[in-house]
Amino acid sequence: MKKNLIIFGTRPEAIKMAPLVEAFQNSADFVTKVCVTAQHREMLDQVLDFFDIHPDYDLDLMKPNQNLYSLTADIITKLKDILEEFKPDYVFVHGDTTTTMASSIAAFYSGAQVCHIEAGLRTFNKRAPFPEEMNRQVATSVCDYHFAPTQKAKENLINENIDERNIVVTGNTVIDALFYSSERVNLEIEGLQEIIEEGKKLILMTGHRRENHGERFVRICEALKEIAENNPEVQIIYPVHLNPNVQTPVYEILSGIKNVYLIDPLAYPAFVWLMNRAHLIITDSDGVQEEAPSLGKPVLVLRDITERPEAVEVGTVILVGTDKKRIVAEAQSLLTDSERYNEMSALHNPYGDGRACDRVVNFIRELTLNKDISPIATGA
């Protein structure tokens, strides 16, 4: 029986890999194990708890304010023993984090076939997002099979000379996770009932991108402060990412404002519930940009470019960058101009139908049955 190893390390990878873990573990055709690098700790554990995933291997790597050099080295070094002991046929990595990049290299060294979930996203600017654009380009070079969330992502891969036979358009697995989570929320546990005021418009905020650390984050927080002060009848709820480069400016600038609620990161279903309850979402998060169109929620994206153009094209998402005036003006318009708001809040599903993981499992199953595909297609 073929052996799979699914590796992930951060909150978004865990959310997007959880339905794949379930899909593989429900299939009698494979032995599937899970390895977490724990590049994130608390935020990863929240997801593992909710999806009831018990990793077979936990590298427990997170350090306070960690750096890219040692994290990369630790992931590659620590994976060696696990890869040599378990000897997986297929290793699955996800997206564009340091865990993705380093695990894909380690898996390649081990001789396994390496599979990339959420492959083919590009800004074509290697410093934005930093270091994610480079991480996913490295993963593409190293991986044998590429599971692209959209047709556009597939086209990016074909333009980089990836053999079309090794690319499958699946939709994004985040939509599988979103559908699973929507009805499983327990608001009492998260303490949200005490905060939410019926009848008030809610703005939901998240942010963490490395290229926004420093001055850009200060401007974002000042914009939020102005939006809150101009609109005392609006609630802003902000589950603050645990990165100290985020925590420091957020708490310094936004603490003590009456209608701004700074809270700890929420468990996934509670966050999904809040997205559904929100009037408007302001974020630099990747996953949130993908989830919001499925929920019909307008999003102001705090970035200058995006590798997710689909939602911008259908009009649910606006790139506002980090200019304070622009953020305040766009938020104000969506709070007061109901015609514009209604146009933006139409439901769209550019990122999938909730069956992405089935498509991955089916492809790998076919691969194991069809001996011709694997060696020819990977050039081995």
Residues that bind ligand UD1 (CB under 6 A): 10-12, 39-43, 62-66, 68, 96-98, 131-132, 208, 242-244
Identified catalytic residue from 74, 89, 132, 291: 132
| Cβ distance to ligand UD1 smaller for residue 31 or 262 | 262
Distance of CA 244 to the CA centre of its chain: 20
Across the beta sheet with 280-283, the strand order is 260-263, 235-239, 202-206, 280-283, 299-301, 317-319
Token pair of 164 as six digits: 């079309």
Catalytic residue at 165?
no
Catalytic residue at 241?
yes
> Contact between 271 and ligand UDP (CB under 6 A)?
yes
Catalytic residue at 22?
no
CA distance 375 to 380: 5
Residue 259's φ and ψ, nearest 5 degrees, are -100, 20
For 234-316, strand residue ranges (E) read 235-239, 260-263, 280-283, 299-301
Ranges within 73-92 binding ligand UDP (CB under 6 A):
none
Catalytic residue at 54?
no
> Contact between 239 and ligand UDP (CB under 6 A)?
yes
Q: For the CA atoms of 65, 76, 44, 51, what is the dihedral angle to 10 degrees? A: 180
Ranges within 288-327 binding ligand UDP (CB under 6 A):
288, 291
CB atoms within 10 A of CB 221: 22
Ranges within 152-191 binding ligand UDP (CB under 6 A):
174
CA distance 206 to 231: 19
Work out which of 287, 350, 352, 354 binds ligand UDP, going by CB under 6 A.
Answer: 287
Identified catalytic residue from 11, 116, 146, 208: 208
The site that binds ligand UDP (CB under 6 A) totals a number of residues, namely 16
Token pair of 260 as six digits: 């701004």
Residue 277's φ and ψ, nearest 5 degrees, are -80, -20
Q: Which does 206 bind (CB under 5 to 8 A by kind): ligand UDP, ligand UD1, none?
A: ligand UDP
Identified catalytic residue from 241, 279, 348, 359: 241
Q: Which does 65 bind (CB under 5 to 8 A by kind): ligand UD1, ligand UDP, none?
A: ligand UD1
Which amino acid is located at 319 in the chain? Answer: L
What's the min distance (Å) between Cβ of 65 and ligand UDP?
A: 16
What's the min distance (Å) between Cβ of 251 and ligand UDP?
A: 16
| Cβ distance to ligand UDP smaller for residue 140 or 206 | 206
Query: Quick check: 228 and 236 in contact, CB under 8 A?
Result: yes
CA distance 8 to 370: 28
| Cβ distance to ligand UD1 smaller for residue 11 or 116 | 11
Enumerate helices (H) and strands (E) in the chain, giving the number of each. Answer: 17, 13
Catalytic residue at 132?
yes
Residues assigned a catalytic role: 96, 118, 132, 208, 210, 241
- Provide the binding-site residues for ligand UDP, judged by CB under 6 A: 11-12, 15, 174, 206, 208, 239, 265-266, 268, 271, 285-288, 291
